[in-house]
Amino acid sequence: MILLPLALISFTFTSCDNDDNDDPVIPTIQAPQTYSFERNGESTISYSGQTTRLEQADELYAALNSSGSTASGLDLMFNGSDGSSAGFANDLLNGTSKIIGSKTASSTLSGSATTKDKFNQYITDFASNVAPNWNMDAAPGMPGSITSPDGGSTYQINAVGQELDQLFFKGLIGAFTLDQIVNNYIHPNQLDSGSRIDDNDSGVLSDGKPYTDMEHKWDEGFGYLYGQEGDLDVVGYTIGSAPAGSGNLLMKYFKKVNAEGGYEPGIGQIVYDAFIMGRTAIVNRDYDLREAQADIIQVELSKVIGYYAIHYLNDYIVKVEAGNIAKAHHSLSEAYGFILSLQFTNNGNDEPYMSKADVESFLDTSLADFHNVNQADIIANGSGMIDIIKAAYGNTLMID
């Protein structure tokens, strides 16, 4: 007689966990060693749209380093035309729905129209002021070129001393790649919207595809980091411990942080494993586990921005003290972009490590004119930018 209520209890608990009483028992899978998942013998991984955008970014980067680029040509590459990508030399990148600009500062969580517009303005400033003065000597108020004392490096800067391709691309690391991963594709706003939970629970696949919508969205997040990795079948190739993707965006600095002698060797494996475990959790319909993995990815990838914002601020000071003004402008331009990117970080609780308002107060005051920078704004103990960024990360960054 006591057994009956106990049976009811366990039955009720099961139905609690599962929302849907009729759910059949799902066979669960173990997390694989590599990011490979199959359904009926067919791979369910797809992130070609991300690879396309990353490749578009490479061409755009080159164009922002060419005196021959025009405002309309750059705008075409960045924003496309009538919802279709255009303007790339590699024709495979044209005529697609993949447009970098439409994914710049565009997440629900941290997107901003004014921040997106800054990128449009960098293009305008570059095409109207920098490109026409390519071979002029730069000076305060005067765009042009600046060369390092050893003659080894020449950079083109705008009237306030900023190297625009660096502002643009280091800004894009946060506003585009990081934002799309941590604030969009691995976030419930994207993964759980519409009927995606129900569909994933009952194995409803995307139209004509071997994957569920939720699986695919997670893969797209993965693709914004790993979308330019080489041939994964090469013997000894270890994407986890030694990520090696090409390109000029988040992966470029993720590799550096992970490298031997980098700021946090091992971060590569941590992030890769979290992507695998999160994707496994989706297959197993374990959304709490998925969220826990998303938190890991959000925190770890966000650190890359913090490390390199500080790295280039430090580097700026070093270059100034060494009398290498050209390199100082270059480093500060990189720092500027990484600081811009800080507003797109995610601390695992859907908050950035540094708010848009705080980011902009740095950029618009201390870094508004690179010809007039007060070093104390950067290095002052406690109140300088470097210490403020460290504190924003709760002093979790392993960097001086």
Partner 1 sequence: MIKKIFSSSFVLILLIFSCSSDSDDNSSEVWEQKSEMLTNWADNFIIPYYTTLTNKLENLEASANTFTISRNQQNLENLRNSFINAYLSWQYVEMFDIGLAEETYYKSKMNIYPTTASKIELNIQNGNTDFNNSNNFSAQGFPALDYLLYGIETSDELIISKYNSDSRYLSHIYEIIDQMLQNTYPIVEDWQNYRNPFIGSVRNTATSSVNKMTNDFIYYYEKGFRANKFGIPAGVFSGGALPEKVEAFYNQNISKALALESFQAIKKFYNGDGGVSLRQYISEVSTEEYSELSTDILDQFNIAENLINDLNENFYNQILTNNIKVLETYDAIQQGTILLKTDMLSVLQIPTDYVDADGD
User: Which residues of the chain form contacts with partner 1 (CB under 8 A)?
Assistant: 1, 4-5, 8-9, 12-13, 15-16, 19, 49-50, 75-76, 78-80, 97-99, 101-102, 108-109, 111-114, 116-117, 120, 189-190, 192-198, 220, 350
To the nearest whole angstrom, how small is the minimum distance from the Cβ of residue 124 to partner 1?
10
To the nearest whole angstrom, how small is the minimum distance from the Cβ of residue 204 to partner 1?
13
Comparing CB distances to partner 1, the nearer of 195 and 372 is 195
Comparing CB distances to partner 1, the nearer of 156 and 345 is 345
To the nearest whole angstrom, how small is the minimum distance from the Cβ of residue 360 to partner 1?
12
To the nearest whole angstrom, how small is the minimum distance from the Cβ of residue 377 to partner 1?
25
Comparing CB distances to partner 1, the nearer of 203 and 265 is 203
To the nearest whole angstrom, how small is the minimum distance from the Cβ of residue 167 to partner 1?
18
To the nearest whole angstrom, how small is the minimum distance from the Cβ of residue 247 to partner 1?
17
Secondary structure of the chain as H, E, C letters: CCHHHHHHHHHHHHHHHHCCCCCCCCCCCCCCCCCCCEECCEECCCCHHHHHHHHHHHHHHHHCCCCCCCHHHHHHHHHCECCECCCCCCHHHCCCCCCCHHHCCCCCCCCCHHHHHHHHHHHHHHHHHHHHHCCCECECCECEEEECCCCCCEEEECCCCCCHHHHHHHHHHHHHHHHHHHHHHCCHHHHCCCCHHHHHHHCCCCCCCCCCHHHHHHHHHHHHHHCCCCCCCCCCCCCCCCCCCCCCCHHHHHHHHHCCCCCCCCHHHHHHHHHHHHHHHHHCCCHHHHHHHHHHHHHHHHHHHHHHHHHHHHHHHHHHHCCCHHHHHHHHHHHHHHHHHHHHCCCCCCCCCCCHHHHHHHHHHHCCCCCCCCHHHHHCCCCCHHHHHHHHCCCCCCCC
To the nearest whole angstrom, how small is the minimum distance from the Cβ of residue 125 to partner 1?
15
To the nearest whole angstrom, how small is the minimum distance from the Cβ of residue 380 to partner 1?
31
Comparing CB distances to partner 1, the nearer of 321 and 351 is 351
Comparing CB distances to partner 1, the nearer of 52 and 280 is 52
Comparing CB distances to partner 1, the nearer of 43 and 153 is 43
Comparing CB distances to partner 1, the nearer of 204 and 318 is 204
Comparing CB distances to partner 1, the nearer of 9 and 391 is 9
